[in-house]
Amino acid sequence: MTTSSLLIGLLCLTVNALSCRPAASPQVRPSLDVTKSNVQDAHAAPARHGDFESPVVIAWLEDPAVSESSGVVASRRDPKLLWTHNDSGDGPFLYATDEQGNRRGVWRVTGANAIDWEAIAAGPGSRPGRSYLYVGDIGDNQRARREIIVYRVPEPEVTPAAATSDRKSALITEPAEAIRLQYPDGRHDAEALLVHPVTGDIYVITKTPTATSGVYQLKAPYSASAVNRLNLLSAVRGVPTGLITGGDIASDGHAVVLCDYFSAYELRLPGGASSFDEVWGQAATSIDLGTRQQGESVCYAADGDSVYATSEKRQTPLIRVKRIRGSR
């Protein structure tokens, strides 16, 4: 065999071998319907179980305008009511609902814009004895915002007549205070906003798929005219995911509930703790929320004996998980 024939033969074998290889799989961008394998952190401590009953869908929110419930909080004026709002794409509206899923009213937040509303909390405010709602315009998927905003507004009174309102005929809140926030270490995406029920301190929990979530704090009182600088307080190490999408502080100030797309986690303040912020270093109790699509909201009932959750699904389920008696 001549040298040229040998080279041609080797070339043909190489081409044939390459043609037999399976084609490379095209890269597929992850969808928003994340799987559990994408959010588990192998380095996080495993969550404990057993303090809560099985989840129950107690109602479906009847208001068709609530199509992407991104935050939920129990009313402090009426323990049988909940407040929710949509994700980005809606206007600055708050929706009141009861435990049966009935629409109890729609309010436009005066003086507020809705860039990417992701969370809602309840807490004290500038007027003693009044309950306030805090709406977190804190979403930043592209890490493009120099500052984020929390709108604080006195919680509206929900009367029977309010049930006839909708977005076109929305009731009007009192003027909102715009509390502008800036991170100390660059830009972050976040979907969880918590307010301490006694001090009024604000907590923003960042959302990250590759690391633990950060806890950023703004102590009260804060400015409604200047930009407020957040303080990086801690990392949430007791929760097996960095994709925190919602949270709340119990009305007695002794526990925190956080959620990701699938489950919820409770962190309890240990007995004898000298500061509420010790809660962030505690091991978590896992709370089963059942099967929910794009779950981004969780809150305590007003008495702290149950947890409520919704999802960004049309029609929106209202999920309740009761605490096992004696587990507090």
- The domain in which residue 143 lies consists of 35-322
128 is a domain residue: yes
283 is a domain residue: yes
- Confidence band (pLDDT; 50, 70, 90) for 326? low
Return the pLDDT at 210: 86
Domain containing 278 — which CATH number?
2.120.10
23 is a domain residue: no
**Mean pLDDT of all residues in 106-119:** 97
Sign of the torsion angle spanned by Cα atoms 242, 313, 91, 31: positive
- Confidence band (pLDDT; 50, 70, 90) for 269? very high
List pLDDT tens digits, range 6-53: 334 433 334 343 333 333 333 332 332 333 333 333 334 445 557 899
254 is a domain residue: yes
What's phi and psi for 5, nearest 5 deg? -65, -40
18 is a domain residue: no
In sequence order, what are the beta bridge partners of 320? Answer: 56, 308
Q: Which residues contact 176 (CB under 8 A, 6 or more apart)?
A: 109, 110, 111, 112, 135, 151, 152, 153
30 is a domain residue: no
b/e sequence 156-167, b meaning 16+ C-beta within 10 Å: bebeeebeebee
215 is a domain residue: yes
What's phi and psi for 236, nearest 5 deg? -90, 90
- Token output for 328: 């507090």
Cα(323)–Cα(302) distance, integer angstroms: 13
Cα(210)–Cα(194) distance, integer angstroms: 22
Does the pLDDT at position 127 exceed 90?
A: yes
State the average pLDDT for the chain: 86
Return the pLDDT at 325: 78
317 is a domain residue: yes
In sequence order, what are the beta bridge partners of 190? Answer: 206
Total number of domains in the chain: 1
